[in-house]
Structure 1
Amino acid sequence: MRIGKRGDWIAASVGAEIVMMSVIEGKYLGLNEVAARIWSLLDMPQSPDTLCDTLVEEFDVTPETCRAEIDAFIADLDSHRAIEMIP
């Protein structure tokens, strides 16, 4: 399974963070530096394993913690309809 962005969300950088808005849903989200990096990586659909591999190289995090945090963040993005699952 790969994860990709839904097309109705617009995003703007604010320093190292991102502020996002869904035009259709009328929802706003603020992303910290790590979440903003994940969002940028989703420009091209990615698997959770690929996301984790990249983040472990870029941030001081263990693979186990990274995967748990990615899974929680992906679930949150999914609950806001910001992403889509691609088989």
Structure 2
Amino acid sequence: MIELSRSSKIVVSKDVVSCDLGGETAILEMNEGVYYGLNEMGTVIWELIQKPITLQEIVNSIREEYEVDQKTCFDDLSELIEQMIKNKLVEVL
């Protein structure tokens, strides 16, 4: 597994398509043909990673909108991104 840091740059994989379902997101990883779903917060993050962005930039953006401390935000975000990497939904640049 890749060790993520605040400077890790993340972007959506090329083999993924997604659509908005009224505040939630449906994602299809085309190589495996597997669907995934994201809740409202996952959708916020998904929108941010459409272009390459660092984990710290994502944390900063989330903290501008939501009351969450830096460590909790980074830890939760890292866990989500690790799952996305494992499922080939995002790439680390």
Both proteins in one fold, TM over 0.5: yes
Q: 2: CA distance between counterparts of 1:22 and 1:34?
A: 20
Count of matched residue pairs: 86
Which residue identity is paired with 1:2? K
RMSD: 0.9
Q: 1:14 Cα deviation (Å)?
A: 0.9
Q: 1: CA distance between counterparts of 2:72 and 2:16?
A: 27
Match of 1:66?
Answer: 73
Secondary structure of the residue aligned to 1:38 is: helix
Q: 1: CA distance between counterparts of 2:10 and 2:88?
A: 12
Structure 2 alignment gaps of length 5 or more = 1-7
Q: 1:8 Cα deviation (Å)?
A: 1.1
Which residue identity is paired with 2:79? A
Q: Deviations over 1:40-82 (max 9, x none)?
A: 1011111111100000111222211110110000000001011
Per the normalisation by structure 1, the TM-score is 0.93
Q: 1:22 Cα deviation (Å)?
A: 1.1
Per the normalisation by structure 2, the TM-score is 0.87
Match of 2:5?
Answer: none
Structure 1 alignment gaps of length 5 or more = none
Match of 1:24?
Answer: 31
Q: 1: CA distance between counterparts of 2:15 and 2:66?
A: 29
Matched residues, percent identical?
A: 26
Question: Which stretches of structure 1, 4 residues or longer, exceed 6 Å deviation after superposition?
Answer: none
Q: Deviations over 1:3-57 (max 9, x none)?
A: 1110111111111110111111111110011111111101111111110000011
